[in-house]
Every structure is written in structure tokens, then in C-alpha cells.
Chain A
Amino acid sequence: MIVTCENLRKTFPGGVEAVRGVSFEIAEGEAFGLLGPNGAGKTTTMQMLGTLLAPTAGAAVVAGYDVARDPAAVRSSIGFAMQEAGLSRFSSGREHIVMMAQLHGFSKRAARERAVELLELFSLHDAADRLVRTYSGGMKRRLDLACGLVHRPRILFLDEPTTGVDPTSRRALWDELVSLRRDGTSLLLTTHYLEEADQLCERLAIVDRGVIVAAGTPARLKEEIGADVVTIEVDPADTAAAREVVAAIGTLRPAAEGTIHLETPNGAAAVVEVVERLTEAGLRPASVTVARPTLDDVFFRHTGATIGGREEESAA
């Protein structure tokens, strides 16, 4: 196991319980994701594992070192790309990598060579000597990632690696992470993007309000739901009436006006019934589609809320 944590807790001064007992394990070479809305405690968990925050209770071992007893050894073994790319605006990309390499004990010459490699790997060689303040969001992320990989860590921590990154750069970053995985680097990442968790992680833990509510491979988690989701588009004015009509067919889930999400064991059969009943009631649907469960469905099943809904809640 590259990461083992048991009953990790973090209570901040003031009494906010950000993490309320989290336990999981990550195998060597595995990609593990913490999926959940903002404020779920993902970042706090990662910061405890990365020695940036001291746990209030519980224990964790990362790369063979106890985070509380041997934080320096943990820091030497992990790469950490944080939510805020920790870059200095008035240094260049090359200077950043060389500096990080030197702090990891590389000689100046070895640090320079490593910088050339990493700049090449992350397609930053053209911008290598420009100041970071001229970089785009995607370039900053890539540089931050490069800095985190300087010492060829066995495990890379990625806190929301693609938040605020445009879709094209996100794809490129994903590709880079996938190729890292091929080299045997373990990953621990947090995300609130279901697609990202689905694409990158072999195993996931779904986190809500400081606890893990479900864990497993994305496929397993989706199978457990066992239900299809029927999505029905109706005239927004008829939404309430239409929901009442189809409520008996399955389980209704929250959705925007004009949309109805219905969870049901057999989606295909339900479609016929939905169309019949709605037509009988004079509420002809504009469209009816069936989808296999997604991670969003998994999240909903375990928390009773959608990720977006939870985030609005915590923003309010």
C-alpha cells in the first residue's frame, strides 16, 4: 500500500468538522479519486496526507512513512499539485523547475537537465524562459505538475487538477496523467467532476460532509445503483403535472423545470409507460431518453443530493 489512512479527522479551530473519520487504502501504482462537492472535506483530507495539515485524530502512512512522525520523509516521497498552482509570477517556468529540483537535493547541473526533460514532457519548452505571469491557466497547471514530478515521486497528489482549465487543456492534462500512470506512478486526486473521476480513477471514494459514503471502482459503484435513468423533456409549464403522472413508475429525482429524471430498474420498459400515461393526461413529452447510471446517480443515491445542488447549498 502506498497510502493507508485510518479514521482521519480534522476539526478546525472554531469547531468546523471538515473531515469526520475517513479511512481508505491506495495500492502501489493505483489511481484513486476522492469525488465530492466543494466543502466535502476532500482537500482537507489530501492536505493531511501531504503533511500540510496536522490531523485532529486518526493515523496515516504515506509511502511507508507516518505523516505525523516523519513528515519530512513523506514530503520527499510525494509530488503535490495543489488547487492553487503555487507559482511565483516573476520567475520563469525553467527557473521554477530548477529551483524545485535543487530543493529536492539535485545538483545544479542535474536540476537543469531535469528541467529540460520536464519542459519537453509538458510541452512548455517554447515558454520555458518566459515569466509565469504570461502563462495561461493550462500552462500554469502543467508547470505546477512538472514541479511536482521533479523528483520522480512514487505518488502524485492532485487537488482538483483541472478546475478552471478549458476543455482542450483538460483533455491534454488527462492524457499526461494517463501516461504517468503507465510509468507506475500512483495517483491520489480530488475532483468534483464526475467525468474526470470516471476517466482517471481505478477506484473512487465518494465524499460528502466529511465522510466517505461509498467506495469502489466506478463500474461497481454504477452497477450497485442497478437502475436506469429516464429523462423526460416536457413543456416547463407542465412540469409539476407531468411529474405527478409519472411518479408511480419510478423514483423521481430533482431536476430543472421542463425536465424529469426518473430512476427505474428497467428503463426501456418504463419509456413505453411514460409516453402512454403522459399522452393520456394530455401532456405530450417532447423527448424521452434512457441512460445507464452515471457517477452523478451514484452520488445522488448515497447522499440524496446532486453534486451541483450540494455546492449551491454550501455557497448559500
Chain B
Amino acid sequence: MKPLTDTVVLARRALREIPRVPTRIIFPLMIPILQLILFASVFANVALIKVAGGGSSLDFLAAGQVALAVFVGAGGSGFQMVQDMESGFFDKLRASPVARSSIVLGLLLTDMLRLGMHALVLLLVALLMGASVTTGVPGAIVIVVLCGFFGACWAGISLNVALRTRNPETTAAAGIVIFPLYFASNAFVPKAALPEWLQKLNEVNPISYLITAVRALMLYGWDTGAVLEGFAAAAVVGAITLPLAVSAFRRAVSS
């Protein structure tokens, strides 16, 4: 299957290049890691966390930071596309017999693996700091898979901006849009403790669904409902962003 093998070839190229540009790994991971360290201390003696039903404030906060590492990373996803357009690499691919769909699929596959790794790194940092995952290794694997899937769907936003503007600055700036949604989420405070209007808002905030799922697996055990809702939220995001990205891409390749 040509589209499949081409997708793998292109994803391998993108994955290979990631460690060669360390800033692309360091920046998206630095913020959540620092936040985890700082907020764990800030909230160490705050009783609020107990609302969540036991567990340390570190365990509680870690889920939000795992999710943040995924979202910040996904916000930088379109950058590779813009760079390939600027360098002429994209045109080189267009002039080759590569299966067109593989150019986008290769990027999404890369993001899935890359963002799953982001989640894994944050989990490991949290574990080193003394957090625990109640559901053990299987739970951690589900967290990584869910985060990778969610990240690839969220990356569709960045891809859209990249393909429609072809501008690296705009693409980078678009990655920041998650912060209001993130601060309004249940990353720092249990949903039940939020004011009512924010609770309502969080029913449609995809970020909260990812955090809830990760938090459930870390703190409370196998909450199938929460995990499925996490996957469903990702699928909804993907169902909106990815078709739009594909149509923007079609226009970009045919121009």
C-alpha cells in the first residue's frame, strides 16, 4: 500500500529530526514540568485538593500538567509544515510520486507518537517527584495512548493555521490559544469546586475531558466512563479540525 508506506517514510523523517532540534522538545516540556514542580509546592498545604477524594496535591496536579504538555506540543505541530513550505521541501514532495494523503498522515502519525512521548515524560517526572499511578503500568499505557490520540486531533488546529496562513509567526502564536481554555479547565481545581458558570463551560471544554480521564487513571482507578469520554472528546475535536486541515491541504498541494 503506497499511501501507508509513504506515511511511514515521511513520519520516520519527521521523528528522526525531532531530537536534532532540542528546542522543539525543551520548550513545550519545560512549562508543564516547571509548573508541576512549582504548583505542587504552592498547593502543598491547601485543603481544596481533598475535595477530590484523597491523594496528594501532586497526584492531583500532575494530570493537568500531563495534558498541558500534550496541548502545548500540539500547538507547535503546524510549524514543521510551514518550515517545509518555506524550504521548498514541500514542493519537492509535490513533484514526487508520493501519495498526497501521506503528507498529512505522516505529520499526524508523527504528532501522535511525539505527543504520546510528551505525556510519558511528564508522567515520569511526576513519578520521580513521588506521584503514583493507581492503575499501574496498564493505566500509564492508556494515558500515553489517549494523550497521543488527543494530541494528533488537537494538532489539526495548528495544521489549519499553518496551511491557511503559511506564516510561521501566526502559526506559533495560534498555539497560545489553548491557555484561556486551559486555565478555565479543571487543571488546578476539581470541577465541583469551580463556580457554576465555569462548570458549565467545562462541559464543552475538551481539555477538561482529557484531564479528567488522566486524573481518574492516576488517582481513582479504572474509570471506564471517564476514559471513553476522553477518547470521545478527542474524536469530536478531530472530526472538526482534521477534515478542515485536509481541505486546506488539498488547496495547498494543488496550487
Complex contacts, B10 vs chain A, CB 8 Å: 99
Complex contacts, A78 vs chain B, CB 8 Å: 95
In the bound complex, do residue B87 and residue A87 qualify as a contact, i.e. CB atoms below 8 Å apart?
yes
In the bound complex, do residue B90 and residue A86 qualify as a contact, i.e. CB atoms below 8 Å apart?
yes
In the bound complex, do residue A102 and residue B91 qualify as a contact, i.e. CB atoms below 8 Å apart?
no
Give me the interface of A with B, judged by CB distance under 8 Å. Answer: 50-54, 72, 75-76, 78, 80, 82-91, 95, 99-100, 102-105, 131, 144, 147
In the bound complex, do residue A88 and residue B95 qualify as a contact, i.e. CB atoms below 8 Å apart?
no
Choice from B2, B6, B17, B87 contacting A86 with Cβ under 8 Å: B87
Q: Mark B137-171, 1 if CB is under 8 A from A, else 0.
A: 00000000000000000000000000000000000
A73 to chain B, nearest CB (A): 8
Q: Does B105 touch A at the CB level, under 8 Å?
A: no
In the bound complex, do residue A88 and residue B21 qualify as a contact, i.e. CB atoms below 8 Å apart?
no
Complex contacts, A147 vs chain B, CB 8 Å: 92
In the bound complex, do residue A75 and residue B95 qualify as a contact, i.e. CB atoms below 8 Å apart?
yes
A166 vs B49: C-alpha distance in the bound complex, in angstroms? 67
Choice from B13, B88, B96 contacting A84 with Cβ under 8 Å: B88
Q: Does B223 touch A at the CB level, under 8 Å?
A: no
Interface centre among B10, B13, B84, B95 (most CB of A within 10 A): B95
Choice from A52, A75, A99 contacting B9 with Cβ under 8 Å: A99
In the bound complex, do residue A82 and residue B9 qualify as a contact, i.e. CB atoms below 8 Å apart?
no
State which residues 230-255 of B face A: CB under 8 Å: 254-255
Choice from A85, A88, A99, A100 contacting B84 with Cβ under 8 Å: A88
A105 vs B97: C-alpha distance in the bound complex, in angstroms? 9
In the bound complex, do residue A89 and residue B92 qualify as a contact, i.e. CB atoms below 8 Å apart?
no
A285 to chain B, nearest CB (A): 49
Choice from A87, A100, A144 contacting B96 with Cβ under 8 Å: A100
A129 to chain B, nearest CB (A): 12
In the bound complex, do residue A103 and residue B84 qualify as a contact, i.e. CB atoms below 8 Å apart?
no
Complex contacts, A51 vs chain B, CB 8 Å: 94-95
Complex contacts, A105 vs chain B, CB 8 Å: 2, 97
User: Which residue from chain B places its CB closest to the CB of A101 in the assembled complex?
Assistant: B9
A146 vs B88: C-alpha distance in the bound complex, in angstroms? 16
Q: Does B200 touch A at the CB level, under 8 Å?
A: no
Complex contacts, A103 vs chain B, CB 8 Å: 6, 9, 93, 96-98
In the bound complex, do residue B84 and residue A52 qualify as a contact, i.e. CB atoms below 8 Å apart?
no
Choice from B2, B89, B95, B97 contacting A52 with Cβ under 8 Å: B95
A72 vs B49: C-alpha distance in the bound complex, in angstroms? 59
B72 to chain A, nearest CB (A): 21
With A87-B89, A102-B5, A102-B9 known as contacts, the answer to whether A82 contacts B97 (CB < 8 A) is no
A71 to chain B, nearest CB (A): 10
A99 vs B238: C-alpha distance in the bound complex, in angstroms? 29
Interface SS of chain B: helix, strand, loop or mixed?
helix
A87 to chain B, nearest CB (A): 6
Choice from B5, B13, B255 contacting A88 with Cβ under 8 Å: B13
Q: Does B50 touch A at the CB level, under 8 Å?
A: no
A60 to chain B, nearest CB (A): 15
Complex contacts, B6 vs chain A, CB 8 Å: 102-103
In the bound complex, do residue B87 and residue A99 qualify as a contact, i.e. CB atoms below 8 Å apart?
no
With A86-B92, A100-B96, A103-B96 known, 9 other A-B pairs at CB within 8 A are A52-B91, A53-B255, A82-B92, A84-B91, A86-B87, A86-B90, A86-B91, A103-B93, A103-B97
A68 vs B58: C-alpha distance in the bound complex, in angstroms? 60
State which residues 166-205 of B face A: CB under 8 Å: none
User: Which residue from chain A places its CB closest to the CB of B5 in the assembled complex?
Assistant: A102
State which residues 110-158 of B face A: CB under 8 Å: none
A75 vs B97: C-alpha distance in the bound complex, in angstroms? 5
B224 to chain A, nearest CB (A): 41
Complex contacts, A88 vs chain B, CB 8 Å: 13, 17, 84, 87, 89
In the bound complex, do residue B95 and residue A50 qualify as a contact, i.e. CB atoms below 8 Å apart?
yes
Q: Can you pick out 25 interface pairs between chain A and chain B where the beta carbons lie within 8 Å of each other? A: A51-B94, A52-B91, A52-B95, A75-B95, A75-B96, A75-B97, A76-B97, A78-B95, A80-B95, A83-B88, A86-B87, A86-B93, A87-B89, A87-B92, A88-B87, A90-B20, A91-B13, A99-B13, A100-B96, A102-B5, A103-B6, A103-B97, A103-B98, A144-B92, A147-B92
A149 vs B129: C-alpha distance in the bound complex, in angstroms? 53
In the bound complex, do residue B17 and residue A90 qualify as a contact, i.e. CB atoms below 8 Å apart?
yes
B245 to chain A, nearest CB (A): 21
Complex contacts, A89 vs chain B, CB 8 Å: 87
A85 vs B86: C-alpha distance in the bound complex, in angstroms? 11
Complex contacts, A85 vs chain B, CB 8 Å: 88
In the bound complex, do residue B13 and residue A86 qualify as a contact, i.e. CB atoms below 8 Å apart?
no
A90 vs B23: C-alpha distance in the bound complex, in angstroms? 13
A177 to chain B, nearest CB (A): 19
